[in-house]
């Protein structure tokens, strides 16, 4: 139906929530041919049998999961490979796949940090492939588009970091807010915790429940602070409070920060418009908008709004995204489109 050249891609670890979402999006991407889908748990079974929403899918429904073996992935002829694996495991695959000449889009945290020591501090284990850290590009297209296009290894940002970085980076770059003043509160749907059999994640535990967790040192802080510091041109630390709320998908983030002296609402608005007005996946709701996860669910959009509180003088930033799309699979495909020299919105709008 399309005259595009079909890029051959593989998805490694497709039975988690992010992997499933990758399949959903890649399965209707007009320039992609999915040539290998792996699963440690379900090799040999049809995708439509394991993930029933894919029954009847024209291309994926009857495709068969292969085992998560590097040689099988290479043998599939894939040029691009998406890794949707737990932290730690991704690095084991990335190294041989890169050596075999594939370009890697990693959705785990394994290559997001430039400094192996910080990885060890936050993740509690030595980094398995520290030499790759400097080669990886942190894949936030709105911030690092041209580097991504040339990368062989893209470290796709975490879901919380995406929702925090995109509102803050333009303000830090322009030095409009005090670097040490940032407080970010994020509310995440339960899919963010992954498909794992844990009492804490049961319906009867999460429904009619809301709680903060991981305070004060959530792992995502490491990449958030790395990227914010780069934008600010100075090392900074922030407070980040993640919360679990009873929705399936979505992250809402509310950020408070102290402005530098002469910030006006007009300048705030102008800064966002200059930074993002042309971005296809950032919707600027302005100084009156209220982002809501229901309007970004299953899309690659992030909605951003802002305030300058006349009573306290503080800047308030609001963002909403789908944690599995702009916060994971969708952003990975946005990065893939850059790598594959496709229009950046292909398969995502």
Could you say which residues in the range 248-267 bind a copy of itself, by CB under 8 A?
A: 248-250, 252, 254, 256
Interaction residues for a copy of itself, span 112-151 (CB under 8 A): none
Phi/psi of residue 340, each to 5°?
A: -90, 5
List of residues 6+ apart from 16 with CB closer than 8 A: 84, 194, 195
Q: Which of 37, 159, 238, 304 binds a copy of itself (CB under 8 A)?
A: 238
Catalogue the active-site residues. Answer: 159
Minimum separation from the CB atom of position 127 to a copy of itself (A): 21
Minimum separation from the CB atom of position 285 to a copy of itself (A): 8
Residue 329 touching a copy of itself (CB under 8 A): no
Nearest to a copy of itself of 103, 256 (CB atom):
256
Cα–Cα distances in Å, from 340 out to 110, 134, 322, 335? 22, 21, 24, 9
List of residues 6+ apart from 67 with CB closer than 8 A: 38, 39, 40, 43
Nearest to a copy of itself of 75, 349 (CB atom):
349
Cα–Cα distances in Å, from 85 out to 16, 91, 132, 221, 236? 8, 9, 17, 20, 30
Interaction residues for a copy of itself, span 196-215 (CB under 8 A): 196-199, 201-213, 215
Widest CA span of the chain, in angstroms?
63
Interaction residues for a copy of itself, span 259-318 (CB under 8 A): 280-281, 283, 290-299, 301, 303, 307, 309-312, 314, 316, 318
Minimum separation from the CB atom of position 167 to a copy of itself (A): 13
Count how many Cα atoms sit within 13 Å of the Cα of residue 88 in the half-sphere of its side chain: 7
Nearest to a copy of itself of 243, 260 (CB atom):
243
Minimum separation from the CB atom of position 139 to a copy of itself (A): 21
């Amino acid at each position: 139906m399309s005259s595009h050249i079909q890029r051959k891609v593989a998805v490694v670890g497709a039975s988690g929530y992010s992997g499933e979402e990758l399949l959903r999006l890649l399965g209707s991407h007009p320039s992609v041919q999915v040539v290998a889908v792996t699963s440690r748990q379900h090799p040999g079974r049809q995708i439509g049998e394991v993930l029933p929403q894919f029954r009847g899918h024209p291309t994926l429904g009857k495709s068969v999961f292969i085992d998560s073996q590097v040689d099988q992935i290479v043998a599939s002829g894939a040029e691009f490979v998406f890794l949707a694996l737990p932290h730690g495991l991704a690095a084991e695959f990335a190294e041989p796949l890169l050596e075999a000449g594939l370009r890697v889009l990693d959705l785990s945290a394994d290559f997001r940090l430039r400094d192996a020591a910080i990885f060890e501090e936050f993740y509690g284990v030595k980094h398995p492939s520290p030499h790759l850290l400097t080669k990886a590009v942190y894949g936030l297209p709105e911030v690092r588009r041209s580097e991504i296009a040339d990368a062989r290894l893209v470290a796709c940002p975490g879901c919380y970091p995406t929702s925090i970085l995109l509102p803050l980076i333009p303000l830090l770059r322009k030095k409009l807010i005090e670097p040490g003043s940032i407080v970010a509160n994020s509310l995440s749907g339960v899919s963010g915790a992954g498909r794992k059999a844990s009492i804490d994640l049961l319906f009867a535990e999460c429904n009619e429940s809301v709680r903060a967790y991981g305070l004060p040192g959530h792992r995502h802080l490491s990449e958030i602070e790395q990227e914010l510091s780069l934008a600010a041109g100075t090392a900074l630390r922030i407070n980040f409070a993640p919360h679990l709320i009873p929705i399936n998908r979505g992250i809402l983030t509310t950020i408070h920060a102290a402005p530098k002296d002469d910030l006006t609402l007009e300048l705030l608005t102008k800064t966002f418009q200059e930074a993002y007005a042309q971005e296809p996946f950032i919707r600027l709701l302005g100084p009156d908008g209220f982002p809501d996860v229901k309007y970004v669910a299953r899309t690659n959009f992030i909605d951003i709004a802002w305030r300058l509180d006349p009573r306290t003088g503080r800047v308030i930033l609001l963002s909403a995204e789908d944690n599995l799309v702009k916060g994971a699979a969708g952003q990975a495909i946005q990065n893939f489109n850059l790598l594959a020299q496709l229009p950046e919105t292909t398969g995502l709008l």
